[in-house]
Structure 1
């Protein structure tokens, strides 16, 4: 396949996920191509970057996010889903917002349980307990409750997100700048699929579960109930759809952190997340090399 064809495929993949943002590009104050190029250069070098979209609106930020996605796709692979960020009240208070923010997931950022990554995988590397939901069909658009959402989810996947806050000291870190940079995508470690066979039962288990993030030495870094993320993990998908996202079969959705994100340095040689209350009380781990 020629380089031109590959570029066309990447653009088509991004377009499927960011169509709404591009549609508003004419009205939104998107970051310029030189600004995008400088951010990408810092990102790829794992160096602190200047904020994108500072002082703009959320519409501006989404336009910038879509343009940045085009620039990152050749390095991170095509967009495969979405991530909801700032899904807890303390996180929203910290960044001065009253609602979640949304970002993108890329194919090549998703690793498997037991992966080993450099401790300095990003400019500002963090670790957090998260969860992925895999969309089964386009009919999820009609869901209005967590149980109905689970009726259109093929599987739940344990997920340790490894975000990179990337911004240099002194740069504004707000809901707008977080959105503009895609809510810090860098890496993530996935567990095995937990197939959804009984949506009502799974919805209850997700609400009642306890999600615990521990460091390599066993120190508990965070612990929270399933309800910590927007009252229920499936509410992240309802919020994304209310915010204009059209979810389709095969989309991967990160529901947001259960508890605060933690600097990788606090985890030591690795981190483990356990989901007590889900079938089999699954746990997944990542190790950090120095």
Structure 2
């Protein structure tokens, strides 16, 4: 890991904002995340611009062991999550090749992260770059997507529940992106009916057969595709664009729950397709 960090530091000669963590500080955090050991104390005094700088430095390091970035995750997509972190809008983090490697039915060790958690989520795959000009119209956005995919996100909240969390701190750890479990893709239909189904579907998460959360599609910013249009605007403000083949994790329908060894977790989506569809993982 030391060799990886040393090599990646050479790539991080970025202009720093006043409170953007120094590359060496970010390298220590990256080493702790990859090695799953106690992280250094959180950096204090960051604003969102500083935290975005920290995120980008961290992503450059994590892409070494976890694989290239393959898309983005949108976090804080519910009013409760935004209130908890004191930010009135979502935040975006990178997802990696390793994030999407596990398929439904996989077994994942309980200690995959420092502070591992689980939440029901939903992925979309970008068909073409026209998504960047599609605006907020749901059917227009669907024309530039080719798959909707059931997804169990397995984030690593790194600093743990006892931390004095803030929006900048969450952004600085790349919104906690780590692992996920991918279900069977559903072909996108660029129709008003398909768009409506995304909003009215019910998403239930069970742990060991016991339902622990349930939410409609509208739980994500009023409609899951609103998270996508927010991300496009956020990336545009940074001079970035979504690319064909990239994935977007649209946000958690359930709050992050600590994972428990020996438990099976299943997310079931009712109303999205003709029959309910699901994605599951066993935590060992």
Task: Output the TM-score relative to the length of structure 2.
Answer: 0.89
CA deviation after TM superposition for structure 1 residue 53, in Å: 4.4
1:129 offset after TM fit, Å? 0.3
Give CA deviations for 1:143-191 in whole Å, capped at 9, x if unaligned.
Answer: 1222211111111011000001011565432110111110111110001
RMSD: 2.2
Deviations along 1:52-78, whole A, 9 cap, x unmatched? 543111111111111111111111100
Separation (CA, whole Å) in 1 of partners of 2:280 and 2:52: 32
Deviation at 1:242, TM superposition (A): 1.7
Q: Which one of 207, 221, 224 corresponds to residue 215 of structure 1?
A: 207
CA distance in 1, matches of 2:43, 2:138: 33
Alignment partners' CA distance in 2, 1:148 and 1:183 = 28
Cα pair 1:208 1:225 within 8 Å, conserved: yes
Equivalent position SS for 1:188:
strand
Listed as ranges, the gaps of 5+ residues in structure 2 are: none
Q: Aligned to 1:62, what secondary structure does the other structure show?
A: helix
Alignment-derived partner of residue 79 in structure 2: 89
1:183-262 equivalences in 2 (<5 Å): 183-216=175-208, 218-245=209-236, 246-262=241-257
From 99, 121, 125, the equivalent of 2:112 is 121
Checking the alignment, whether the CA contact within 8 Å between 2:139 and 2:190 is kept in structure 1 is no
- Of 78, 88, 108 in structure 2, the residue corresponding to residue 98 of structure 1 is 88
State the distance in 2 between where 1:66 and 1:198 align: 33
- Structure 1 contact 54–172 (Cα < 8 Å) conserved: no
The change in CA–CA distance for 1:135 and 1:170 in structure 2 (over 3 A counts) is same
Aligned to 1:284: 279
Q: TM-score, normalised by structure 1?
A: 0.87
CA distance in structure 1 between the aligned counterparts of 2:159 and 2:40, rounded to whole angstroms: 6
Structure 1 gaps, min length 5: 16-21
CA change 1:55–1:27 in 2 (3 A) is closer
Deviates more, 1:158-167 or 1:30-39: 30-39
Classify the secondary structure of the residue corresponding to 2:224.
coil
Which one of 109, 123, 134 corresponds to residue 143 of structure 1?
134
Say which of 170, 176, 195 aligns to 1:178. Answer: 170
How far the C-alpha of 1:118 sits from its partner, in A, is: 0.5
2:27 aligned partner: 37
- Counterpart CA distance in 2 for 1:27 and 1:185 is 23
